[in-house]
Amino acid sequence: MANAREALLDAALAALTHRSWAAVRMVDLAAAARVSRQTLYNEFGSKEGLARALARREADDYLRGVRGLLVAPGPPERKLVAVAEWIVARAAVRPVLRALLTGAWDERLPRPRPVRPGARPAPVPAQRRADAGPPAPGELVAEVAACAGERWAAPCELAVRLALGHVVAPALPIDPQCAEPESWSPITPTITRLMETILSVETTSPRKIIP
């Protein structure tokens, strides 16, 4: 039922563009994905299980995207800048990922709750993995740095943290009537050039690490 699971997750993300998570109804998601409600509950167990699955898929897609950029041909410092640019652009259009990366969840989003202690494990393997909970922001930073390999782990962490700083700053209350804050827009060419210069200097130093 992998196709049904993906269709349900897609339907849930699409629903979030129009309404808050509290207003999303499971029956509507099943109808949008063209599956039965029973299939939905078989896959996720509950609405909270669906929230955990959404968060897990966003984290997996994020890590897959980063790995693809890191194995692409090109100078290492340019690849790290590409990772930072991609993170900012991706976070701008995927609010669940933005919350995962920053820990800033709001009431409109499906913040995943821990599985109830003593609960029976989910029968679907993908859901058991999701029920283990999504990685914390710091864990995602560490996983991305590890993807770069030992030699480039520290510069990669620097690039990721610079990107996340661009995503979250300025930390001001957001008026829903206003446009999205400028910090969610793509990194400017000036910042890109600055990052590339910093990473080039640091990664070509004899120590090969960020102080």
Residue type, 96: V
pLDDT at 188: 64
Give which of 91, 97, 199 is closest to 148, Cα–Cα.
199
pLDDT at 190: 65
Residue 28 main-chain phi, psi, to 5 deg: -70, -35
Per-residue pLDDT tens for 124-163? 999 999 999 999 999 999 999 999 999 889 999 999 998 9
Q: Can you tell me the mean pLDDT for 42-59? A: 96
pLDDT at 1: 63
Confidence of residue 123 (pLDDT cuts 50, 70, 90): very high
Instruction: State the Cα–Cα distance between residues 65 and 87, nearest whole angstrom.
Output: 9
Q: What is the mean pLDDT of the chain?
A: 85
pLDDT at 191: 66
pLDDT at 197: 73
Q: Does residue 211 have a pLDDT over 60?
A: no
21 in Cβ contact with 99 (< 8 Å): no
Q: Model-level pTM greater than 0.85?
A: no
pLDDT at 201: 59
Q: Can you tell me the mean pLDDT for 184-208? A: 60
pLDDT at 206: 43
The tokens 């510069």 sit on which residue? 155
Give which of 108, 67, 90 is closest to 164, Cα–Cα.
90
Confidence of residue 82 (pLDDT cuts 50, 70, 90): very high
Give the length of the chain: 211
Per-residue pLDDT tens for 52-74? 999 999 999 999 999 999 999 99
Q: Does residue 203 have a pLDDT over 70?
A: no
